[in-house]
A = this chain, B = another copy of it.
Amino acid sequence: MNYELKNIPERTLKPRQTGFTMVMDKGLSPREVEDFLAVGSEYVDVVKLGWATSYVTPNLKDKLNIYKQAGIPTYFGGTLFEAFIIRGQFEDYRRVLDKFDMSYAEVSDGSLEMNHEEKCQYIRTLSKQVTVLSEVGSKDDQKIIPPYKWITLMQAELDAGAWKVIGEAREGGNVGLFRSTGEVRSGLVEEILTKIPFEKIIWEAPQKAQQVWFIKLLGSNVNLGNIAPNEVIPLETIRLGLRGDTFSDFLSMNGK
């Protein structure tokens, strides 16, 4: 840190299991990745190339190399996995992961209908090849999954070999964990946490108010995802109680 402040909440260090920040890159150029990492590399644990943006992104290999040299793992968004599945191209997908030397992959079913046992089978197969993140929740704001179902799905996916499960919110933060207004489905989150371990979940929380909500409820070291590259520094200050929103939340925890 650039100077000393007392009573700052302790943050986990890399490689983090909690306090984890997943960033969504939706089409940065290689030099923009360098710019982002010049400020964010200490704070970012993994970068998702959003949905199927990797299909149309020029200079993809250059970009992936920049992340790799900074020691930041990357993965293709779940919608790309789904785009291969719906076309019957699962084996092609596995070859793409190898071609680009990916060590992580996401398995999701946000944009299509998939039998849950089939989804778990994909998790089982891919987890022999890469570290799997699996995502629960629909991108369709009309599909409301009740809490007990979220828990069953998450547990089954972890049992099938997912490293962590992701709670869906999209880039906009208006589906899945959130109502269409962006408000958190707080009862859902609390019920999930009665059964699924805290460190096993990454909560997608692209909007500031959502990040604040999770940090107030679950502390500085909650795992958050779908963070925009230019929100990594702001998020870190929210985690530390150094932005107005959480300014008073961590002072007493430290005995002040």
Chain A residues packing against B (C-beta within 8 Å): 1-7, 26-32, 34-36, 38-39, 41-43, 50-60, 79-80, 82-84, 86-89, 92, 96, 99-100, 110-112, 139, 170, 172, 208, 230, 232-234, 236-237, 240, 242-244, 247-248, 251, 256
Contact = CB atoms under 8 A, between A and B. Distances in A.
A58 B232 CA distance: 12
A42 B43 CA distance: 33
A57 B256 CA distance: 26
Nearest to A244: B139
A243 B5 contact: no
B251 A56 contact: no
Nearest to A111: B247
Contacts of A41: 58
A236 B230 CA distance: 22
A8 B36 CA distance: 32
B57 A244 contact: no
Per assembly, the copies of the chain total 3
Contacts of A38: 29-31, 58-59
B29 A243 contact: no
Nearest to A6: B87
B56 A1 contact: yes
Q: Which 7 A-B pairs have the closest CB atoms?
A: A27-B233, A52-B242, A29-B38, A139-B244, A111-B247, A29-B35, A111-B244
B51 A39 contact: no
Nearest to A35: B29
